[in-house]
């Protein structure tokens, strides 16, 4: 395809090519399309922190609010030394497209603090989070912007935000999602992204007319997405996981291995090295092994021009954000590898975050079966819509995903009079 859509730098993708492919240029003012590329608001704050030692330090925090034409801004907060404005802008843009492609009433936001949480005590981390919450002030809220956990943040961090925000706004469970169950969290949230990936795998296998019971699956990663996703793919789909990895390295066996034993080994040793009767290799080598389905579910930029030509999977389902660079995406498309893109494949997390928000607003909470049923309904509907557009317009699933999302955002902006 002539269209290049770079998720690792979303703001650089070719709008003119998208307009030509989708016919948007005949329906929508080009200025609106350009506006989708720009964030509505960028917030940068200096966050003071008194360390336990008594030393006073300052950290930089960010919140990018990209687009709220379809609903409140929605997106994670990450605590990491590499957090910066460019990353936040790109990921906020991705969130706008992700919420639109699965058709939930949110926009996109992203942010975090440039810090190394491993170097902070629990008390320091709490004070930092509360100070950040106060500095964000009226820029977050259940009807404005709803953060969620991301890299190095968790339900405890969300609980601190709820408490600090509620001091000035009254009890406000819906200010964040990904909270503990005891203060308004949702059942099914921990498994949501992995379960969504499982549904994406199931639909892709059906579309390609493969036999699930004979499919061999490699997960790059063994964090939240891969640990839940691998178990669900084996237990509910009947496929076989033959590869897993951590940041230290990967295990692979073409015959497969006992997943529960691998999980137990990981819990005991905090790694996979030394697990019996498998090959030990690098993360990069794992991506090039024989399999039917490859699921990069760890880091961004995993599939590049250097390894795309060696990917042997028939189907790639992107469990992580930005895991295939634009040039590699073109190589996979030319080789006939069927790719389910990140903004569709890993949207299960934000979908169940939406369910949590709805439950908070209504003060009525769902069973885990209700959560799973609704998640499946939304994921299947989104997949079907994207697949139909891809077939009708002769596009890849990635191109079709972006077109579905952009059309929805642009139409909402026009209807609201942006």
Alpha helices by DSSP H, 107-258: 122-136, 155-169, 192-207, 224-232
**Is 110 among the catalytic positions?**
yes
Q: Centre a 10 Å sphere on the Cβ of residue 301 and count the other Cβ atoms it contains.
A: 14
Residue 96 tokens read as 């706008």
Q: Could you tell me which residues are beta bridge partners of residue 147?
A: 75
Q: DSSP 3-state assignment of 222?
A: coil
**Residue 317 belongs to what H/E stretch?**
strand 315-317
Helix locations, 28-154, DSSP H: 30-36, 85-101, 122-136
Contact 63, 139 (CB under 8 A): yes
Q: Are strands 293-296 and 56-67 parallel, antiparallel or unpaired?
A: unpaired
- The Cα 204–Cα 293 span in angstroms is 10
Fill in the DSSP letter of residue 236: I
Which residue, 363, 349, 359, 360, is CA-closest to 98? Answer: 349
- Residue 307's SS3 state is coil
Rounded Cα–Cα distance for residues 106 and 103 (Å): 8
Q: For 111, phi and psi rounded to 5 degrees?
A: 180, -165
Q: How many CA atoms lie within 13 A of 294 on its CB side?
A: 28
Among 98, 110, 179, 240, the one annotated catalytic: 110
Active site residues: 110
């Amino acid at each position: 395809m002539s269209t290049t859509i770079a998720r690792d730098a979303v703001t650089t993708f070719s709008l003119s090519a998208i307009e030509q492919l989708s016919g948007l240029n005949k329906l929508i003012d080009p200025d609106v399309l350009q506006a989708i590329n720009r964030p509505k608001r960028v917030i940068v704050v200096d966050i003071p922190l008194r360390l336990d030692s008594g030393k006073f330090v300052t950290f930089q925090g960010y919140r990018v609010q990209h687009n709220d034409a379809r609903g409140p801004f929605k997106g994670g907060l990450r605590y990491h030394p590499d957090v910066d404005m460019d990353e936040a802008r790109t990921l906020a843009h991705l969130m706008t497209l992700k919420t639109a492609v699965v058709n939930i009433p949110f926009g996109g936001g992203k942010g975090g603090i440039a810090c190394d949480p491993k170097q902070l005590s629990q008390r320091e981390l709490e004070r930092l989070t509360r100070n950040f919450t106060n500095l964000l002030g009226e820029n977050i809220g259940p009807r404005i912007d709803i953060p969620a956990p991301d890299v190095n943040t968790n339900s405890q961090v969300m609980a601190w935000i709820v408490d600090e925000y509620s001091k000035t706004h009254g009890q406000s469970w819906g200010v964040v999602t990904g909270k503990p169950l005891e203060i308004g969290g949702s059942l099914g949230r921990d498994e949501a992204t992995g379960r969504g990936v499982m549904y994406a795998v199931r639909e892709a296998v059906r579309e390609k007319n493969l036999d699930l019971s004979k499919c061999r699956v490699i997960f790059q990663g063994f964090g939240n997405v891969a640990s839940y996703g691998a178990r669900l793919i084996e237990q509910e789909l009947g496929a076989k996981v033959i590869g897993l990895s951590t940041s230290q390295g990967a295990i692979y066996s073409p015959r497969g291995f006992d997943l529960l034993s691998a999980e137990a080994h990981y819990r005991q040793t905090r790694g996979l090295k030394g697990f019996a009767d498998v090959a030990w290799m690098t993360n990069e080598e794992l991506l090039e092994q024989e399999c039917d389905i490859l699921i990069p579910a760890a880091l961004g930029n995993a599939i590049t021009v250097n390894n795309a030509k060696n990917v042997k999977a028939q189907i790639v389902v992107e469990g992580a954000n930005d895991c295939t660079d634009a040039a590699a995406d073109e190589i996979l498309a030319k080789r006939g590898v069927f790719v389910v893109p990140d903004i569709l494949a890993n949207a299960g997390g934000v979908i169940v975050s939406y369910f949590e928000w709805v439950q908070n607003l209504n003060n009525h909470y769902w069973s885990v079966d209700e959560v799973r049923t609704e998640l499946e309904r939304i994921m299947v509907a989104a997949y079907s819509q994207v697949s139909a557009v891809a077939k009708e317009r002769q596009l890849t699933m990635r191109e079709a995903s972006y077109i579905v999302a952009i059309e929805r955002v642009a139409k909402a902006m026009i209807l609201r009079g942006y």
